Structure 1
Amino acid sequence: MRESRRNAAQQGRAARGPRARWALAATGAALVVLVPGAVAAVADTGGGRTDGGRAAGARRPPGHGTKLPAPPQMRALDFMLGSYKCMDTPPGGGEQIENYITTKRDIGGHYLDSAMVTPDLVVGRRVFGWNPVDRRFMSEYHDDWGVQGNSYSEGWKNGHLIFTGTVKLVKKPSPTGNAEGVEVNVKDDMVILSRNHYTNTQTTSVPGGISVQHFYDCRK
């Protein structure tokens, strides 16, 4: 994925104009749309009111929802918090690509929200959370190319945090909202080296086809 983006950036530099973006895009995970009303209806199996007995039209002030604590499992992802510069070493070596990731807690720590930027190439967003029903971590990704995907992790094992899933890649972004793409398998293998230093070995595979691996060295 990143190799094709590198080629796009290099072509743009040679032309001394806006950098072309002719690549398969980044890893991560797709958007999930929740419908609170539907959730409340399902939860109200006893047939009672779901508004806590409040009169019609009465509403709680913003920010006064249930103070449910974040899942304790989320502490396992604290190493991501803060601002990191991640150097991407593409397959076969060559010039490294700079990536910037800033991660903060969201919704009271129930999720981590990562803003991801590859200068002059792509801006993305990745959200991490804990699924209490499936008892595993989830990851959602989307970016300004239109790339979307999702991945999951069973948690830390032998010093590795591995997310696996699928991503719908966009070959060439278009302002028309229509583009060609391909669905690929993705694997992130994260390892903590110190308090402010971790790595991610990312593998992207076309089902029944080629496999490409990138190595990200991330430091605060």
Structure 2
Amino acid sequence: MSTKEKILAKALELFNEKGYNHITTRHIAAELSISPGNLHYHFKHSEDITKILFEELTLKMDDLLNKMKKIENKTLGDLYTLTSSTCEIFYSYRFIFINFIDILNKIPEVKTQYEGINFNRKEEFQLIFSDLQKNDIFKKDIPEFITNSLTEQIFIIADNWLTHNRLISKLNKKTAIQHYTILQMNLFYPLFNKEQQKLYEQQYIR
């Protein structure tokens, strides 16, 4: 692992554990037993590190969604895997969501990138929903305003569940991912056909 990679890994660990606003480049350098000058050779400011970590998060989500889009005959299990894997990725970068407003205000590039991602993700989810209808997972007669609302509901939950867990639920990683995966999956339940509703209850509701 290169020095740059070590810095990014340690920064992610410290941001997640201690909080974004409490960690500086000096803290990261001290944890790695390197000089601040050595760290600043790679990253001048903590904001530069955050931009890279946000890009990592984005690329992982791009890869996950691309895999989902390539599946021709999508199943209930595929939808669950997408939702669970999204929760797991977000948990790995949880400081971004817990400190979302601070980061967006402090780093204009991340704010611009996030706005673009929201637009693109909406189109991607609409395509996935359309495929789920074609594969008889979702009902055929879902009004467009419902699927449009569903996309926004997913974004609201996805961007805020980590804060809710930190403040209210206080679940450990494994339990939190399971809990919030089901919470998001339950949004889809009214859209499943009766056969898929029964399958969902049997496989995922305990």
The TM-score normalised by the length of structure 2 is 0.25
Task: Specify which structure has the higher proportion of helix.
Answer: 2
The TM-score normalised by the length of structure 1 is 0.23
Task: Specify which structure has the higher proportion of strand.
Answer: 1
